Amino acid sequence: MILEHAVLDVVAGQETDFEWAFGEARELISASPGFLGLELLRSFETPGRYLLLVRWESVEAHTVGFRQGPNYEQWSALLHKYYSPFPVVEHYASALSTSASVV
């Protein structure tokens, strides 16, 4: 599994519209082969900042399957207008993992 990480800075005052648009856009990404799930987190410390975490089967599932696929143009039209600046996207693989133990 690969984890896509993107810090999304949204234009001030557009947060509610962005969250609505993201709700629409998630249907587009979730239909992509190799998509495993996502989480959109809102920052406590920085208003208008979000962290997008997307789980993919492989980097190519994101960079080729989704970004070069039929739904990416609509995804871009829904979301890219809200970003300032445009986000840097990186992909990560697990190096170490732990969970809280349940007693």
Tens of pLDDT, residues 14-67? 999 999 999 999 999 999 999 999 999 999 999 999 999 999 999 999 999 999
Domain with residue 31: its CATH number is 3.30.70.100
Total domain count, the chain: 1
What pLDDT, on a 0 to 100 scale, did the predictor assign at position 101? 83
* Position 93 in a domain: no
The answer to the question of residue 94 being in a domain is no
Question: What is the token pair recorded at 61?
Answer: 């599932």
Quote the domain boundaries for residue 60. 2-88
Asked if residue 98 is part of any domain, the answer here is: no
Query: CA 64 from chain center: how many Å?
Result: 16
Pairwise CA distance, residues 20 & 40, whole Å: 12
Is residue 12 one of the residues assigned to a domain? yes
User: Is 102 within the bounds of a domain?
Assistant: no
